[in-house]
Structure 1
Amino acid sequence: MKKVLWVMLMIGLMTACQQGNNETSRTVDMYNSSGDMIGTVKLTEGDDGVDFKVKLEGLEPGYHGIHVHEYPKCDQPDFTTAGNHFNPDGNEHGLMHPEGSHLGDLPNIEADAGGLVNAELTLPEATLMEGKKSLLAGEGTSLIIHDKQDDGVSQPGGESGPRVACGLIAKDEKQSSETPTDPTDFNEKQEE
């Protein structure tokens, strides 16, 4: 009987340890090229991929391309250290491309007349768990917002223009030792 209990305890501990390495959600802080925090994107492991809840401010009104990029680096002002789109399968770019898209290609987001974005997106086949399609594989990835909308077919990035905001999707989320300003704090003070 003791042996059976011991085996059950070991199986329970191993299962708990394995589950501890797999995240099911995280919040990504988004920063503009000046280093100001412009909002957050909450990532949640969903049934069909990773769900994104985007809450941003300070963008130019209109549509903006948004993509997961291959490196967890957000060096200002142009965020080119984030590398190319996350593409573990070596596909062509664009959600409308007949041969598939980069894994990191997301639908465009729209900023309203006040520059606010409140959107929900899904990145099919991606995961926060371990594996080839994990957004946390290696050191992780980053989330980039572009100045213009992604046309969904042009190579290699949909003619979406310069990178205007970046957030880390990294195992170690250290961006810098300085704390950027949060413009939403100012807005809350104005409303009082």
Structure 2
Amino acid sequence: MKVQHLSILAICLMIVASCTPAKKEGAENPEGAQMEEQVQEDTAKEEPTAHATLNSASGSSVTGTATFRQVGEMTVRMSVEAHNLSPGEHALHLHQNGDCSAPDATSAGGHWNPGGMEHGQRGVGEFHAGDIINLTADADGNVSWSEDIVGWTIGGSDSTNILNKGVIIHDKQDDFVTQPTGAAGGRVACGVIMEGSM
């Protein structure tokens, strides 16, 4: 009789155990819930972006785009695509005003220079925050260039924030010596840096 009761009890326990629903993953697991929240937060914290549409200036037919993406705390990746340039080197700078209204783009003002530095070559001695590089246009007048620029931010402090600055492509190359412009010649393209993607 005792054996029968024990058998019935064992069968009942197995039935109860098999009917108990399995734990839902993360439902009673605070670590799982925290990991899910962290993934959602990381997705929400996308790197800031900005862009500028480059329009012709000074009677040129140059067009293009400049895009910007924050890739580090004080580093922005700048990418430029431009067309209809004369083959060869052309200075690329950020200018202090996001204003391309003048036909020759002089409304963009001088080079962006919040630190009051001498004009020069980026990474070598003193240089303006807006001194970038010489772009090299191919035989068809096209250029595609990208580089990480240290010392810039998209938003934030006025001394590092590139928003509402002018992107200028010049007619000539920058000699990195002549003050205050590098003898880069006229402004053949101008764009205003706006927040967000194109």
TM-score by length of 2: 0.69
More displaced 10-residue stretch of structure 1: 58-67 or 73-82: 73-82
Pick from 50, 70, 81 the counterpart of residue 26 of structure 1: 50
C-alpha change, 1:157 and 1:97, in structure 2 (3 Å) is farther
Letter paired with 1:163:
R
Secondary structure of the 1:106 match is strand
Secondary structure of the 2:107 match is helix
Shift of 1:113: 0.2
State the 4+ residue runs in structure 1 displaced beyond 6 angstroms: none
Q: 1:6-17 counterparts in 2 under 5 A?
A: none
Alpha-carbon separation, structure 2, partners of 1:128 and 1:86: 15
1:87 to 2:132 alignment: no
Aligned length: 152
C-alpha change, 1:37 and 1:49, in structure 2 (3 Å) is same
Q: CA RMSD in A?
A: 2.6
The equivalent residue for 1:163 is 187
Q: Contact 1:142–1:170 (CA<8 Å) still a contact in 2? A: no
Pick from 89, 98, 107 the counterpart of residue 133 of structure 2: 107
Q: Contact 2:100–2:192 (CA<8 Å) still a contact in 1? A: yes
Q: Which has the larger radius of gyration?
A: 2
Secondary structure of the 2:132 match is coil
Alpha-carbon separation, structure 2, partners of 1:109 and 1:161: 14
1:133 to 2:160 alignment: yes
Gaps of 5+ in 1: 1-15, 173-192
TM-score by length of 1: 0.71
Secondary structure of the 1:46 match is strand
Q: Contact 2:75–2:151 (CA<8 Å) still a contact in 1? A: yes
Instruction: Tell me the percent identity.
Output: 36
CA deviation string 1:37-77 (max 9, x = no partner): 71211111122522111111111100000100001100242
Secondary structure of the 2:100 match is coil
C-alpha change, 1:42 and 1:65, in structure 2 (3 Å) is same
Gaps of 5+ in 2: 1-40
1:40 to 2:42 alignment: no
